[in-house]
Amino acid sequence: MNNFIKRINPKWLLILAVAFIFSSCDQDEGTSMPSVSNAEYDDTPYQLDIGNFPEPDLPPDNPLTVEGVKLGKMLFFEPRLSNGDGQACADCHNQGNGFSDTLRFSLGVRDLPGTRQAMGIFNMAWNTNGFFWDGRAELLRHQAILPIQDSLEMDETIDNVIAKLSVDPLYTDQFIRAFGDDKITEDRMGLAMEQFMLSIVSHDSKYDKWVAGEVQLSESEERGRQLYFTEFNPFFPDQSGADCEHCHGGINFENDAYMNNGLDVDVDISDLGRELVTNNSNDRGKFKVPSLRNIALTPPYMHDGRFQTLEEVIDHYNEGIKMSETIDPALIQTIEPGLLLDDQKKEDLKNFLLTLTDEVFLQNPEYKSPF
C-alpha cells in the first residue's frame, strides 16, 4: 500500500483529494481512499488537577499533553484492542466502580475468568513502585500493553491492533496530534495509555473536604478515623487503635509496598504473589498494598476477591489474621487476642472508610468514554 502511494504521481493525489472533498457529503466512512489529513501535532500540556496533593513525579520522557491524554482515553475505551473487538480496558475498569470491576474474577474476551481481582485505576501518578498485584510491570506504559495480549483478557496481538487502528483516520489523525506523525506503534500506544491513566485523579472525597476544613465528620466517622490512624497497643488492645494507616497511609491510603496481610497460613498460599516477580521466597504471598480510596465501590476485596463486603474485611483484621512465614510483623501482634473491635467500633471504622468515596471523580466527564 505504501509503495503504491509512493508511485502515484502527486498530480493524481491532488485530483483524488479534490474528488474526496466533493464526495465527502456522502459521509462514506468506509472509504479505502487515502485521505489527506489536516491534523497537526499539538503539544499543549495537560493540566493535571491534583487538588491539595503534592506534585507527583511524572515520567520526564512522557510529558502529559492534551492530545496524548485524549489518545490514551480513546485507546482505553477501544474494543478493537481485543480479539473479536468485544472488550475494552474500560469494561473491566469501570469508572462508576473506581475504574475497577465488581466481578470476583473479570471475564476476558473468551468469557474465561482470570485469577485475580481487577484493580482500581486512579492516582497512578503517585504510584512509584510497579503495577499489578505482584508489581510485575514496572511502568504504566508497559502495563498497558499486557492485557491486550493476555489470553484470559483481551487475547489480541499488537500487530492486529495496529492493523485495525491504522486504517481508521480517527486514530491516524490522533496519533499525528499526539506524536507528530500517523505511525501507530506498540510504544506509542503504551505512552498514550500511560498519559491517560496518569491523568485519572481522585482527591475530592468527604475525607479530603474534611482535611480542607470544608465539612465535618459525623461522630461515628470521627471515631472510625481515630481507630484507623491510631497504633495498636498489644498491652491495651481494647483501648488502642486498629492501625490501618500503618500500611494504608499517606495521601493515597497505600504505601507502595508489597506485603502479606495474613490472609492464609503457609500451606494455603496458592498465589505466590510478589515471589513470582522476585523469585525470592521472602516475598511469598505478598501483594501490593492497595489504596483504600473509593473502597466502598470496588468490591470484592483482596487480590483474589475473597471478601464480598467491608464488614468481612474488618472481621479479617479484627479476628481472622493467619500466621505465615512472610506475614508483616505489625500484624503478628494483633493475632492474639485480635484487635478487639466491638460492633460499634467496627461500624465506626467502616463509616470512616465510606468517607473515602469521591463522587466528583466517579462522575468526572474528563474520564468518560470519548466515543
DSSP state of 279: -
Q: Are 165 and 184 in contact (CB under 8 A)?
A: yes
Residue 224 φ then ψ, to 5°: -65, -40
Q: Does 133 bind ligand HEC (CB under 6 A)?
A: yes
- Report the residue count for the chain: 371
Q: Does 154 bind ligand HEC (CB under 6 A)?
A: yes
Amino acid in position 254: E
Q: Does 126 bind ligand HEC (CB under 6 A)?
A: no
DSSP state of 264: S
Dist CA 366 CA 122 (whole Å): 13
Site string for ligand HEC, 253-272 (x = CB under 6 A): ------x-x-x---------
C-beta closer to ligand HEC: residue 69 or 295 = 295
Q: Does 210 bind ligand HEC (CB under 6 A)?
A: no
Which residues in 67-86 contact ligand HEC (CB under 6 A)?
76, 81
CB of 96 to ligand HEC, least distance (A): 16
Near ligand HEC by CB under 6 A: residue from 331, 346, 358, 362: 331
Which residues in 237-256 contact ligand HEC (CB under 6 A)?
242-244, 246-248
Near ligand HEC by CB under 6 A: residue from 67, 80, 104, 108: 108
CB of 212 to ligand HEC, least distance (A): 23
Our measurement of the distance from residue 102's CA atom to the centroid of its chain's CA atoms, rounded to an integer in Å, reads 14
Q: Does 118 bind ligand HEC (CB under 6 A)?
A: yes
- Cell digits of residue 125: 501518578
Q: Are 53 and 126 in contact (CB under 8 A)?
A: yes
CB of 344 to ligand HEC, least distance (A): 15
Near ligand HEC by CB under 6 A: residue from 71, 74, 92, 297: 92
Dist CA 267 CA 139 (whole Å): 32
Residue 94 φ then ψ, to 5°: -95, 125
DSSP string for 100-157: B-SSSS-B-TTS-B-SSPPPP---GGG--S-BSTT--BSSHHHHTTHHHH-TTTT---
Tell me which residues touch ligand HEC (CB under 6 A): 76, 81, 87, 89, 91-93, 106, 108, 114, 116, 118-119, 121, 131-133, 140, 143-144, 147-148, 153-154, 193, 197, 242-244, 246-248, 259, 261, 263, 287-290, 292, 295, 298, 301-303, 313-314, 317, 328, 330-331
